[in-house]
């Protein structure tokens, strides 16, 4: 016999008290990954099988980072003794994004077995549903004995949750959390208790939801409280699960379970770092804002599975382009640095990525003038008319540290410029825009010639790799991983592409991946060797590199790189968080603990590695 009991755990209604929540970073050491995640909420299910030792939310306010919202841990009481979930002798923990499943069996004291599945709603091409701030969990409890049993499920709420809790008939409520169920409850010292009776061999399925509320969220257009959100989740439980299951099924898979597990962890930041606001703004947070560079790599998931969200982010960018064609460094909120070179290029490349993948020629036609303005601004940065835009400060591209002040051309920005020109000239020909055809063909040819000219003649090619040019004409011999961007966009010949990868393998390869710069600078550069922009392993950059290797047939080394990076970044560290960068000498995780553009790996799987 199977009976169903429904729990609703409502938490974190937004009030002015939101400011009292600490930064999520402060509680990171208490979690080991966020396998439950969507566009609003994320929750930890630990490797040991506990629930939920850390809950985070992406607040609706622009410019705000993830917030730690406390934890709610489940235990089981039987005959006046309390047992944690980890006290079961056999735990089969299949925690993974987006749906985790765990079974708990063979307890020495408890007369039950238990299984659960947990998820945050996600629905293909439906960013409203995917932004529902709800964690849904179903728990099935089975009486193993031949007689009736009574147990109690107890939720232990930490101080953030339990402040000012008021008991109700079916749970508790405060400005921060409300916990309700369709069975009566008791409340004592921060613990909410639910007595469950089981007949001999009976199974009961319990549903509960953790629902947050923020008046600045997209979902606040429909729901005015956590209570309303939870009622919706309850009323549409099966539909939300089926939508999430369909989303799960649509994720790219390979024949290698290890690779599949790696992809799931690296997809999480693309979810929880997507912010959807009540004003219909959508952004993937590079750090806190929509940065064209970061968002390009984060949004392969959105391109392929959330078409409308991806289109909305492009429209937001187009609306923000200045009259002179400059794309702001970031939008939502806006940060402007007038001398970055890769921001405009990434917007152009993202625009054509969208129209090519979705075959949306109407979008091309409607916004071609905006794309041309962005391209023309980039061309105007070639101030000495030699063929490439000059870097006039250290803000030139992603390698934005003072150590590169004085650099004239970087391989990364130069090859990106060439790539943006390639796409613009191709579309100009399709659109029969004669003026643009002439301008972009000439600019492309001139840039291509300079990029590929020998280094000693003022170009960037240095016999096996592209090398950065400095204003003082020095040659520092540094080998930069980011030059693989030219292979990615097919503006580098296969012969030179393979030469670049051989050079990187021979010089920059470490046990943890590819050092982005080698040889390292000394510490006067501003960072210690092996750290940050002095030769760290950056997962996002490595995934672009890996994708580029796959494009030229270097599959075995590409897959090994994925596994080496993930081993250091996720598994050896034990945090299961896609970190900003990894010390290439020690393997230590450094920088932001969760980085959106590391979700670039999703694109690698979707377009190169998934099983046919």
**CATH number, domain containing residue 222:** 2.70.98
> Is residue 288 in some structural domain?
yes
The residue among 61, 295, 20 whose CA lies nearest residue 174 is: 20
Measured CA to CA in angstroms, residue 358 lies from 19, 307, 377 at distances of 41, 8, 27
Residues 424, 493 share a domain? no
Helices (H), 477-608: 485-488, 494-507, 539-551, 555-566, 600-604
Residues 445, 529 share a domain? no
> Is residue 435 in some structural domain?
yes
> Is residue 127 in some structural domain?
yes
Residues 287, 232 share a domain? no
CATH number for the domain spanning 418: value is 1.50.10.10
Instruction: Assess contact for 80 and 19: CB atoms under 8 A.
Output: no
Residues 234, 197 share a domain? yes
Tokens of 237: 């439980």
Domain extent, residue 571, equals 478-612
User: Which pTM does this prediction carry?
Assistant: 0.94
Residues 169, 23 share a domain? yes
> Is residue 263 in some structural domain?
no
Q: What percent of the chain has pLDDT over 70?
A: 93
Instruction: Assess contact for 497 and 548: CB atoms under 8 A.
Output: yes
Instruction: Assess contact for 277 and 43: CB atoms under 8 A.
Output: no
CA 151/CA 80 separation, integer angstroms: 9
CA 244/CA 3 separation, integer angstroms: 24
**Torsion sign across C-alpha atoms 347, 353, 356, 360:** negative
> Is residue 348 in some structural domain?
yes
> Is residue 258 in some structural domain?
no
Q: What is the DSSP string of 338-401?
A: TT-SHHHHHHHHHHHHHHHHTT-HHHHHHHHHHHHHHHHHHHHT-TT-SSSPPP-STTSSS--S
Residues 564, 437 share a domain? no
Average pLDDT value for the chain: 92
Q: What percent of the chain has pLDDT over 90?
A: 82
Residue where one domain finishes, among candidates 421, 454, 487: 454
- Residue 19 is classified by DSSP as G
SS3 457: helix
* pLDDT recorded at residue 163: 66
* pLDDT recorded at residue 612: 62
* pLDDT recorded at residue 227: 77
- Classify each residue of 102-129 as buried b or exposed e, where b means 16 or more C-beta atoms within 10 Å of its C-beta: bbbeebeebbbbbbbbbbbbbbbebbbb
Residue 508 neighbours by CB distance under 10 Å: 23
Instruction: Assess contact for 84 and 298: CB atoms under 8 A.
Output: no
pLDDT digits (tens, 9 = 90+) for 361-407: 999 999 999 999 999 999 999 999 999 999 999 999 999 999 999 99
Instruction: Assess contact for 151 and 109: CB atoms under 8 A.
Output: no
Residue where one domain finishes, among candidates 400, 420, 454: 454
212 falls in which pLDDT band (50, 70, 90)? confident
The residue among 6, 218, 53 whose CA lies nearest residue 129 is: 218
pLDDT digits (tens, 9 = 90+) for 7-60: 444 444 333 333 344 444 556 556 899 999 999 999 999 999 999 998 899 999
**What are 157's strand-pairing partners?**
72
pLDDT digits (tens, 9 = 90+) for 314-331: 999 999 999 999 999 999
Residues 343, 232 share a domain? no
The residue among 335, 331, 263 whose CA lies nearest residue 300 is: 263
8 CB-side CA count, 13 A: 23
SS3 51: strand
Q: What is the DSSP string of 101-127?
A: EEEEE--SS-SEEEEEEEE----TT-H
Residues 506, 434 share a domain? no
Q: Decide if pLDDT at 586 tops 60.
A: yes
Domain count, the chain: 3
Tokens of 155: 């939720």
Chain-centre distance for alpha carbon 122:
15
Residues 443, 325 share a domain? yes
> Is residue 462 in some structural domain?
no
Residues 94, 45 share a domain? yes
* pLDDT recorded at residue 178: 67
For residues 286-315, give the mean pLDDT.
97
Cis peptide before 519 (omega within 30 of 0): yes
Residues 318, 383 share a domain? yes
pLDDT digits (tens, 9 = 90+) for 52-110: 998 899 999 999 999 888 888 999 999 999 999 999 999 999 999 999 999 999 999 99
> Is residue 525 in some structural domain?
yes
C-alpha angle 136/40/348, rounded to 5°? 135
Residues 357, 407 share a domain? yes
* pLDDT recorded at residue 156: 86
Q: Decide if pLDDT at 245 tops 70.
A: yes
Instruction: Assess contact for 376 and 438: CB atoms under 8 A.
Output: no
Contacts of 294 (CB under 8 A, 6+ apart): 284, 285, 286, 287, 596, 597
For residues 537-550, give the mean pLDDT.
98
Tokens of 457: 């003649």
How many secondary structure helices (H) and strands (E) does the chain include? 17, 30
DSSP H or E run through 290: strand 290-291
CA 371/CA 318 separation, integer angstroms: 8
């Amino acid at each position: 016999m199977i009976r169903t009991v429904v729990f609703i755990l409502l938490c974190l209604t937004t009030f002015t008290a939101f400011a009292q929540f600490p930064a999520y970073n402060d509680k990171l050491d208490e979690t080991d990954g966020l396998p439950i995640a969507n566009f609003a909420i994320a929750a930890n299910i630990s490797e040991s099988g506990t629930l939920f030792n850390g809950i985070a939310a992406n607040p609706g306010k622009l410019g705000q980072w993830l917030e730690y919202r406390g934890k709610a841990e489940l235990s089981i009481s039987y005959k006046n003794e309390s047992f944690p979930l980890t006290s079961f002798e056999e735990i089969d923990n299949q925690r993974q994004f987006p749906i985790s499943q765990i079974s708990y069996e063979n307890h020495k004291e408890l007369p039950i077995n238990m299984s659960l599945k947990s998820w945050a709603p996600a629905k293909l091409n439906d960013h409203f549903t995917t932004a529902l701030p709800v964690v849904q969990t179903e728990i099935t409890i089975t009486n193993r004995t031949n007689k009736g049993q009574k147990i109690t499920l107890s939720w232990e709420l930490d101080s953030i949750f339990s402040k000012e809790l008021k008991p109700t008939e079916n749970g508790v409520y405060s400005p921060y959390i409300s916990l309700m169920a369709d069975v009566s409850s008791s409340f004592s010292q921060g613990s909410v208790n639910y007595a469950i009776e089981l007949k001999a061999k009976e199974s009961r399925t319990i549903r509960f939801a953790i629902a947050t509320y923020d008046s600045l969220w997209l979902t606040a257009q429909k729901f005015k409280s956590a209570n309303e959100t939870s009622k919706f989740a309850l009323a549409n439980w099966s539909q939300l699960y089926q939508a999430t299951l369909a989303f799960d099924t649509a994720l790219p898979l390979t024949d290698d379970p290890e690779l599949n597990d790696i992809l799931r962890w690296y997809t999480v930041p693309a979810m929880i770092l997507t912010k959807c606001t009540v004003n219909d703004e959508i952004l993937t947070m590079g750090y806190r804002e929509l940065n064209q560079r970061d968002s390009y790599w984060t949004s392969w998931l959105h391109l392929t599975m959330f078409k409308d969200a991806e289109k909305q982010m492009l429209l937001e960018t187009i609306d923000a382009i200045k009259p002179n064609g400059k794309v702001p460094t970031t939008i939502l909120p806006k940060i402007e640095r007038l001398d970055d070179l890769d921001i405009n290029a990434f917007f152009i490349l993202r625009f054509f990525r969208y129209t090519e993948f979705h075959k949306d020629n109407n979008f091309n036609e409607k916004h071609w003038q905006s794309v041309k303005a962005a391209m023309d601004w980039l061309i105007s940065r070639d101030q000495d008319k030699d063929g490439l835009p000059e870097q006039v400060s250290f803000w030139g591209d992603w390698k934005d540290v003072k150590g590169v002040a004085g650099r004239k051309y970087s391989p990364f920005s130069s090859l990106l410029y060439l790539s943006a020109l390639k796409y613009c000239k191709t579309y100009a020909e399709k659109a029969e825009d004669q003026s643009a055809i002439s301008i972009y063909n000439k600019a492309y040819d001139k840039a291509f010639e300079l990029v590929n000219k020998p280094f000693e003649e003022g170009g960037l090619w240095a016999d096996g790799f592209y090398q950065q040019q400095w204003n003082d004409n020095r040659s520092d011999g540094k080998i930069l991983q980011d030059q693989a961007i030219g292979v990615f966009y097919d503006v580098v010949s296969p012969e030179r592409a393979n030469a670049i990868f051989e050079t990187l393998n021979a010089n920059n390869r470490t046990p943890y991946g590819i050092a982005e710069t080698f040889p390292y600078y000394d510490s006067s550069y501003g960072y210690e060797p092996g750290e940050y922009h002095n030769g760290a392993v950056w997962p996002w950059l490595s995934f672009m590199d890996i994708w580029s290797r796959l494009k030229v047939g270097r599959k075995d080394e590409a897959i090994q790189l994925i596994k080496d990076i993930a081993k250091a970044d996720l598994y050896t560290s034990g945090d299961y968080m896609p970190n900003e960068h990894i010390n290439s000498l020690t393997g230590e995780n450094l920088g932001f603990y969760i980085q959106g553009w590391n979700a670039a790996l999703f694109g690698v799987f979707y377009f190169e590695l998934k099983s046919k």
